[in-house]
Amino acid sequence: MTVPTALVTSAVAAGSRYGFEIMEATGLPSGTVYPVLRRLERGGFLVSTWEDPAVALADGRPRRRMYKLTGQAAPLISAAAGKLMSLRGFAGPGLVSPEAG
């Protein structure tokens, strides 16, 4: 597992839902985050849905696409946490242990 995949997985597990939100949480550029999301989605670890139109309308903006980990992602989440732990001195903002996901 690559570090960006671990970061994205952990960020979504920690509750980030939108693409740009995940970018903020991981500090990765959009050109890295989106390809990882597409791969996870193709692998069945992630599903995407469009947000409620009423919410978007209330905020006066177009609907955003939301990402959520599936049940299949449990081993991936622990692998991601392991990968990140192994990086000495790493402590990313907003990242939690796999149990919290």
Partner 1 sequence: MLVDPGPVDLNDSDASVRISFAIVALAARMVPIADRRGWHAEWHAELLAHNAMLRSRRSRNTWTWLRLIWHALGSFSDAWQLSAHGFGPANLVRDLGLACRSLAKRPGFLATAVITLALGIGANTALFSVVRGVLLRPFPYEDPERLVQLLGHREGETPGSGNVSYPNLHDFDQVSATLTGVVGMAGWRPALTGDQPQVLPGATVSWDYFHVLGVRAAAGRFFEAEEEGEGRVRAVVISHGVWTRQFAQDRDLIGRQINVDNESYTLLGVAPEGFEGPHLISFEGEQPVIWRTPWFEATDTFRSGRSWKGLARLAPGVGIEQAQTEVSVIMGRLIEQYPEENTDRQVTLSPLRDSVVSDSRSALLLLLGAVVLVLLVACVNVANLLLGRMLERQDELLVRGALGAGRGHLLTLLFAEGLAIAAIGGALGVLLAYASVGALVGIAGMWLPRPEGVGVDGTVLAFSLALTLGTSVVFGLLPALRVTRDTRLSAVSGVRMAGARSALGAGLRRTLVLVQVAASVVLVIGAGLLLRSFWNLQRVDLGVGSQGVMTVTMHGASWWDLEPEAATVGYRELLDRITALPMVNAAGAIDVVPLADNHSCDGFIPIDRPPPGPGEGECAEVRSLTPGALEALGVHLLSGRTIDWSDRSDAAGAMVLSREAAQHFWPDQEALGKAALVHSDTFSVVGVVADIRHFGPAEAATPLVFLSAQQEPWNGITRGLTLVMSGPPAIERAGQEIARAIQDVKPAAALEAIRPMRTLLANTTGGSRFRAALLLAFAGLALLLALVGIVGVISQSVTRRQRELGIRIALGAAPGRAVRAVLGEGVRITLAGLAIGLLASLAMTRLLQSFMFGVSPLDPTILAGGCVLVFGLAVLASWLPARRAGRIDPVQALRGE
Instruction: Report d(CA 83, CA 5) in Å as an integer.
Output: 10
15 near partner 1 (CB under 8 A): no
Nearer to partner 1, 19 or 101 (CB): 19
Q: CB of 3: closest distance to partner 1 in angstroms? A: 16
Nearest to 76 by CA among 34, 49, 44: 44
Q: CB of 48: closest distance to partner 1 in angstroms? A: 7
Integer angstrom CA distances of residue 2 from 6, 19, 46, 64, 82:
6, 18, 17, 27, 12
Considering only residues 23 to 82 of the shown chain, the ones binding partner 1 according to CB under 8 A are 23, 29-35, 38-39, 48-50, 56, 61-65
Contact set with partner 1 (CB under 8 A): 18-20, 23, 29-35, 38-39, 48-50, 56, 61-65
